[in-house]
Structure 1
């Protein structure tokens, strides 16, 4: 099958740029909900007001936003760069099967996690502390320098085991999204609204929002416990203090014995509130950038 026209030198670069921009925009807008999720104690609205009043909007709710944007942009861009679809065997209509989407997403996710884990350690520690917290990081570069100097590679890769498990989150999300989109295309083909030979069409905003929401909520509910474990591991600087985790397995045991099953879903409400608008913004920006690149593609 001939290489499709592209806006840049490759359709894969187009996809990477689309996701890069989508991740950057959605992360910058919705960062305050990440801060609330990581520090979660009370209700979302209560936590929002409490942080804003005590620390201010910019220095409180947007603490660590630069690190979050760097991490999100790097993750989304690298993720799509690594999703080497053209190496996967497609069907007669040029489409991938569900399991191929799952494998491609898992491969890209694993590479992305290994590459960006230190950024998320710094982001988690910034969001879990205030500027008044003793010995807290001042920002991304301060955090990176101190992390490498004080804890080395072991510190930089704290929480990577549950993060690798979390690759299933993205895999489930993208497999679900692509399968729902494929189903929607087939429905519109059967209704005669799309020419039979045309596969890559721009669906409506409502369709993209629905597909993105369903796929993201499904993945979030199934895989949320790993995020709790990862955050607990990354917040701890040494794992030697009382009540601190000494590894992924130890962390799971502690949460189960102290907090019960509900402990693995602590902070789920603000997380769901965050992922829905975040996913909608991300996928809408991505799909529209993709369509823009296709419309202005050159040979």
Structure 2
């Protein structure tokens, strides 16, 4: 008698996965769902704070001798008055085109890096029940951040330029692909990676701390259950949002100076940007940077140490809800899609 074909549905495959037996189709489906969840999390979180994201970049690169944006509320009002509602979201389409794949790759890379690091850690200690420590989570988050940043950096570079341009700019990028082709033609392929080094250095503490603080806070709350926040071994959405907010605040404060330097290096070579200028005794001249260290030195020399934190206030207001929304959206979407494993698992 011919052997019967065994049909394994998704529910049975999920059961097998929990028991340690993973079929190829289940593994592929899980990967796709994880990437979709990460992409949705990135798009939702960034769109929610797009006006603050644009203001942050404008504050970072504005001419210190011609101040237009003088704070969060004033800056948002100025954009609304001069460019209207659409001005608040300028560059957001390009930002989402970058952040959706970036977020998808970042969350997925963190999951894979966590599994690999945990496997090595258990093998080294000989303890099969060992769990990730905050330091190991920091390492996994750093790996995820570097991979995601490198994969999508050209889009981040042109997104910065599109965000900075105004209606009065002599030259206009019409969109992400037009900006990419223009930069390639006029400045060469290396221009697409201007500021990559400070970005990678900055992403290590930023993304690393985001994941480490978020996951460690959740673990601590579940184990200690202060104020009765845990119900049925689960944290509420509000509590998880608070964990994400704390993670985002710590990560962005540590890495913010590198973000300022990255953005300024990205503007070098673009004659129509609102270039940062400095007095050199002979007048005001546009600043040019030979590298990351030179950019740090000139920024502090001409504008003071505080210039490294230009735009920190709107960035803080933006990062707190953005990171929180991203983490919680990721977990909620994975629950909706029926993925069994969360990032903390």
Q: What is the TM-score of this pair, normalised by structure 2? A: 0.77
Aligned equivalent of 1:55 = 83
State the SS of the aligned residue for 2:28: coil
Aligned equivalent of 1:70 = 97
- Which region of structure 1 is more displaced relative to structure 2, 202-211 or 114-123? 202-211
Aligned equivalent of 2:236 = 204
Pairing partner for 1:81 from 108, 116, 120 = 108
> Across the two proteins, how many residue pairs are aligned to each other?
290
Cα separation, partners in 2 of 1:9 and 1:260, compared to 1, 3 Å: same
CA distance in 1, matches of 2:201, 2:41: 24
Q: Describe the superposition over 1:124-157 as per-residue Cα deviations: whole angstroms up to 9, x where unpaired.
A: 1011111331113121111011011112221100
CA distance in 1, matches of 2:229, 2:77: 51
CA distance in 2, matches of 1:97, 1:135: 50
Aligned equivalent of 1:121 = 157
Say whether the 8 Å CA contact 2:246–2:320 is kept in structure 1: no
Equivalent residues in 2 for 1:149-188 (5 A)?
Answer: 149-168=185-204, 169-188=206-225
Cα separation, partners in 2 of 1:121 and 1:253, compared to 1, 3 Å: same
Which one scores higher on RCO, CA 8 angstroms, separation ≥ 6? 1
Aligned equivalent of 2:20 = 2
State the SS of the aligned residue for 1:80: helix
User: What RMSD over aligned residues (CA atoms) do the two structures have, in Å?
Assistant: 2.7
Say whether the 8 Å CA contact 1:122–1:144 is kept in structure 2: yes
Cα separation, partners in 2 of 1:30 and 1:286, compared to 1, 3 Å: same
Gaps of 5+ in 1: 196-200
Equivalent residues in 2 for 1:3-22 (5 A)?
Answer: 9-22=28-41
Deviation at 1:114, TM superposition (A): 1.5
Equivalent residues in 2 for 1:129-140 (5 A)?
Answer: 129-140=165-176
Gaps of 5+ in 2: 1-18, 60-68, 123-127, 276-284
CA distance in 1, matches of 2:239, 2:231: 15
Q: What is the TM-score of this pair, normalised by structure 1? A: 0.88
